[in-house]
């Protein structure tokens, strides 16, 4: 199998949806027994930034999902945050404890709505901006 260059890999990641990218990061973490929590926000922000430059700024197409509060079911909220972000347990707990904090940044409307629904289903207070 031919070795892919960084540019080839980035081109492949650029074509992936946020959910596909999240699943890839989880598989990568399992295969190589590592945590990519620090790299995940950079990859997401980089991919979203490239898409933003190509579209007209008239209509808002990027949204931030902000966790306002954890509610009564903090453990459930932590689980949902981990599913949405690929963060480790400690990082997800710190995010939930430090609310209000952004869970997802610069995602499309559909991903923001799904994240809001999942977090509210777990008992959290959520804002989409």
Cα–chain-centroid distance for residue 49? 14
**What DSSP state is assigned to residue 88?**
-
Amino acid 1: pLDDT: 60
Residue that the structure tokens 């960084």 belong to? 6
| Residues 124/67, Cβ–Cβ less than 8 Å | yes
Which pair of tokens denotes residue 108?
A: 């499309």
Walking along the chain (129 residues) 10 residues at a time, the average pLDDT comes out as: 81 83 83 66 49 53 84 86 86 86 85 86 85
Number of C-beta neighbours around residue 12 at 10 A: 11
Amino acid 9: pLDDT: 83
């Amino acid at each position: 199998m031919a070795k892919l260059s960084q540019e080839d890999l980035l081109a492949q990641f650029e074509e992936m949806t946020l959910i596909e990218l999240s699943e890839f990061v989880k598989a990568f973490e399992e295969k190589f027994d590592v945590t990519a929590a620090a790299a995940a926000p950079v990859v997401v922000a980089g991919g979203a930034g490239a898409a933003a430059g190509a579209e007209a700024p008239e209509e808002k197409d990027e949204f931030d999902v902000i966790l306002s509060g954890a509610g009564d079911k903090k453990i459930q909220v932590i689980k949902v945050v981990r599913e949405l972000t690929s963060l480790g347990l400690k990082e997800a707990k710190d995010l939930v404890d430090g609310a209000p904090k952004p869970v997802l940044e610069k995602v499309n409307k559909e991903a923001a709505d799904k994240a809001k629904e999942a977090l509210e289903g777990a008992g959290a207070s959520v804002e989409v901006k």
